Amino acid sequence: MSFRTTASVDYVEDVSPGRGALPPRAWYASSDAKSLSLNGSWRFRLSATADGEDDSFAGEGYDPVAWAEVTVPGHWVLQGDGAFGSPIYTNHLYPFPVDPPHVPTENPTGDHLRVFDLPDDWPTEDDGGAVLRFDGVESCARVWLNGTELGEFKGSRLPHEFAVGQLLKPAGNVLAVRVHQWSAGSYLEDQDQWWLPGIFRDVTLLHRPAGAAGDFFVHASYDHTTGEGTLRVDSDVDGRVSVPGLDIDVATGEQVTVAVEPWSAETPKLYDGELVTAGERVPLRIGFRTVALEDGLIKVNGKAILFKGVNRHEWHPEQGRALDLETMREDVLLMKRHNLNAVRTSHYPPHPAFLDLCDEYGLWVIDECDLETHGFTEQGWRDNPVDDDRWTPALLDRAARMVERDKNHPSVVFWSLGNEAGTGRGLTAMAEWIHGRDSSRLVHYEGDWNCRDTDVYSRMYASHEEVERIGQGLDGGAGKRRELPFIQCEYGHAMGNGPGGIADYQRIFEAHDRLQGGFIWEWIDHGIKHPELGYAYGGDFGEELHDGNFVCDGLIFPDRTPSPGLVEYKKVIEPVRIEGDVADGTVRVTNAYDFADLSHLEFEFSYQVDGLPTGAHTLTVPPLAPGESAEVKLPAAVPDGNGDDVQWTVRALLAADTAWGSMGHEVAWGQETVTPRTAVTVAASQRPVPGERLLITLGPATFDARSGRPTTICGLDVTGLRLDVWRATTDNDDGASWQDDTRYGVLWRKLGLHRMQHRLDAVELADDALTVRTRVAPAAAEVGLRTVYRWTSDGTRVKLTVSVTPEGHWTVPLPRLGVRFGLPADAAQEVLYFGGGGEAYPDTRAASMLGQWLPSIDALHTPYVRPQENGARADVRWAELGGLRVEGDPEFWFSARRWTNEQLDAARHLTDLTPGDTLWINLDHGQHGIGSQSCGPGPLPQYFLKAEPTEFSFVFSTTG
């Protein structure tokens, strides 16, 4: 039965969703019907084209002797050490000519083969049938069982089932699956992610006993005025529904109303139930909640909610989008532990087990359809499949497969039509079908700002100013949109260092009812583990077109370590506000939850002097209801200490273990300074003394007489001390290529701030100071910074005062402003400092908690996948390393690294950074804000580091 015709692969370029598959239905794990996982090792053969091999492999008796092996679920390009091709990363460009529905002749095609036996206890043929389920295959599959073709399908992140009962044998079943990387479906799957072909989700054989449940729809609403829930389970096959915890036992289709505890993301109460039909028992996890658009607001259980969300792609640095349950659980736990309450499943329905976890732990979900046609923007959206009736069946098929699969999850509150697909009749058809099928949820789509088909006005990356205007209802827009609530389905682009400015967004969201929060872009960096590069990104596999590290823009690193961005977000969205009123000795505690009271938290209070806590007290806070505040008296008198730099800190901690966090887990905190610090003073009592070998001595420091630069300070060798204005530009400094002339990373480099020349004008010795006069400026420019270093000493300490006066016409802010110097590499392994803990920049400093910290030098480096400026510590009063103490007046930004800023700037991957023989220290008076311009607005004006006359100083002494 071998043949080879071009006709045999016509289905690949067919716009239809496929043929042979069963209608979509709810996804569930039966209690008693047997199932057989077909995950594991499969035989595998790769062809360069869709018709490279005939289909004889699907027949019985075929011997795949020369075939390789792959693991299912998996992507073949991530297996076989490069023998099976490579991943491709593009943001929105199709990696093939745009000529829908045609795809390239070179169409990597993976034949997969698996022989399996039925377990001994598998029911016999007359006891019902069986279906074969594929939970996800990219992008088009053709399936045979025991030589019989079952059909073919597209819709990569959607389930497809085939009836196979008649074909099964007790032993030696041959399952053959041909997977094409490119198909007409690829035009609908232009999400910003790696193109990764393969059978990447589970393959399962499910026994379907006679009288099995089939499809069912759990309707479980909640009436907040009565406290009652109403349950009705509609089922294709009649049966009974029981919920023991509620004494419910009713027929399918029958409605029952009883008092219940409602489900919410904060209080995810699920009732265990069961659907029993003649042939099957199906476990149910029922959450009662009502989602409604009311008074122009998204309300759940009668209450407007605020999304504190994130966009989640499925990602694992080695498995790609083939995630195991533990990885999914890790995502949910990390989200819950960082105060997130919502997920948008950008930009496709996730593995269904992820939604089980959202039900269980409590997260609001925007379930998004597997649809994006972004690449058509290159041609002004001409030929866009969502506006072409020929594609509508495929769109409806995708909508139905999502809704039917996921309809029984209480966590899903919105259906999203897809992402970045322009506008068109196909979207309207999807929305109409969804609204008709499920009136218990709302519909989202960002791409149509007139909201023709949607129940919410959604935008991405709108500026603070615009969001504020929308909040005030001053955004204009057509009739319907004006009535709708607003969310940012994407904002705060977490690429590299950042996002900046999210605290400012949160303030705006909370100030206007119409603004119901947002979703940070995005959850995880899609870096691919790579033997030489650490983590690979676009271009690292030699792709013809790619978008570099735009694919590494998550709040967690590829290995799921939280980045400083996630820590910042956790603080910004904390569900309890703790603010002090120093004058009247009270702390104001506000419950910012939508549903929960504060009885699950306990509050701990402490003062700290010079950054060290003086003992903890319990703060008794009433169990405030959502929205309520209380003024609580401080439980202890301000400690005497040395009189200065005293703060109090209040922490809200879990009072007992919860499903997602252990007792003592910190949920929120607040801190206030009670007694401000007084800066150290140094009497300029010493005279600089010229000595031998052109050295000048001033107190505990020596200087090179020609350059005026220190050579030792307090006995430690010091090199290269000078003004530093450069930082290795962040992704947010560099901005996105399509943005305008405010991309300061680009402008700074153009001006030459990375190659400043330091002209020495004078080294002056006076009775009380050594003064070094310089001008710091880039070649070819008229702008410059007149910089004076003034050194004074009282004999044991030496003080550096830096005065900077800009000259010329400065049109850009400065990246940073401070001094840098080198110490011997072995001078220090760690630094003790009093200042803000964790990385911080002017607009990413909400989570920076004052205290004494002792990080290792290595821990001061934040491993952004593409190296860039990182690791600054804010509000540093003093720092000690290698026996040297530095005190700042005023407080300063501290950084230390084992390479220069220039080396950091040049590095493309973490593996390009190797420690040298110098430890480089930056003591900065200022840093420019971070913003979100890698895909969004830059820093707000208040976070600009303006070039203006500035003076700051540091006092150096020996520690101890």
Binding site for ligand IPT (CB under 6 A): 91, 192, 347, 419-420, 460-461, 490, 521, 550, 553, 935
Q: Please check whether residue 683 is in contact with residue 797, taking contact to mean a CB–CB distance below 8 angstroms.
A: no
Comparing CB distances to ligand IPT, the nearer of 836 and 937 is: 937
Identify which of residues 450 and 737 has a Cβ nearer to ligand IPT in the complex. 737
Strand residue runs (E) in 146-192? 148-154, 160-163, 173-180
Largest CA distance in the chain: 106
Residue 691 Cβ vs ligand IPT, minimum distance, rounded to whole Å = 59
Looking at beta carbons only, is 18 or 499 nearer to ligand IPT?
A: 499
Tokens representing 413?
């509150």
Q: Residue 125 corresponds to which amino acid?
A: E
> C-beta of 527: minimal distance to ligand IPT in Å?
14
In the complex with ligand IPT, the residue whose CB is nearer, 407 or 546, is: 546
Report the distance separating Cα 802 and Cα 800, nearest Å: 6
Q: Which two tokens stand for residue 398?
A: 């995708």
For residues 587 and 578, the answer to whether their CB atoms sit within 8 Å is yes
In whole angstroms, how close is the CB of 377 to ligand IPT at the nearest point?
A: 9
Q: Which long-range contacts (CB under 8 A, 24 or more apart) does 559-563 make?
A: 559/317, 560/327, 560/330, 560/331, 560/334, 560/524, 562/334, 562/338, 563/494, 563/862, 563/864
Bridging pattern class, strands 228-235 and 216-223? antiparallel
Residue 375 Cβ, how far from ligand IPT at the closest point, in Å? 12
Q: Which is nearer to ligand IPT, 377 or 903 (CB)?
A: 377
**Shortest Cβ distance from residue 420 to ligand IPT (Å)?**
5
Q: How far is the CB of 882 from ligand IPT (least distance, A)?
A: 41
Q: Are 107 and 50 in contact (CB under 8 A)?
A: yes
Residue 905, Cβ neighbours under 10 Å: how many? 17
Q: Which position has the token pair 């045979």?
A: 144
CA-wise closest residue to 262 among 296, 297, 223: 223
If the CB atoms of residues 457 and 956 are measured against ligand IPT, the closer one turns out to be 457
For ligand IPT, the closer of residues 569 and 894 by Cβ is 569
CA–CA gap between residue 38 and residue 34 (Å, rounded)? 13
Least Å distance between CB 493 and ligand IPT? 6
Q: What is the 3-state secondary structure (H, E, C) of 24-40?
A: CCCCCCCCCCCEEECCE
Q: Which residue is at the shortest CB distance from ligand IPT?
A: 192
Give the C-alpha separation, 808 to 948, whole Å: 11
Q: Are 517 and 492 in contact (CB under 8 A)?
A: no
Closest of 521, 500, 501, 505 to residue 468, by C-alpha: 505
Residue 7 neighbours by CB under 8 Å, 6+ apart: none
Helix axes 325-337, 352-361, angle to 10 degrees: 30
Select from 258, 225, 254 the least CA-distant residue to 240. Answer: 254
Task: Report the nearest approach of ligand IPT to the CB of residue 285 (Å).
Answer: 31
- Vertex 30: Cα angle to 21 and 407 (nearest 5): 65
| Shorter beta-carbon distance to ligand IPT: residue 874 or 935 | 935
Nearest approach, Cβ of residue 496 and ligand IPT (Å): 12
CB-based burial label for 779 (10 Å; 0-12, 13-18, 19+): exposed
DSSP letter string, 787-816: EEEEEEE-SS-EEEEEEEEEES---S--SE
Residue nearer to ligand IPT on the CB measure, 321 or 347: 347
Q: Which is nearer to ligand IPT, 447 or 611 (CB)?
A: 447
Smallest gap from residue 936 Cβ to ligand IPT (A): 8
Which amino acids are annotated catalytic?
420, 490
CB-nearer residue toward ligand IPT: 493 or 861: 493
Give φ, ψ of 739 to 5 degrees: -85, 170
Angstrom CA distances, 485 to 51, 298, 585, 940, stand at 50, 7, 39, 25
Rounded to a whole number of angstroms, the minimum distance from the CB of residue 460 to ligand IPT is: 5
What string of DSSP letters covers 1-16? -----GGGGGGGG-SS
Residue with tokens 């289905």: 11
> Measuring CA to CA, which residue among 592, 572, 576 is closest to residue 652?
576
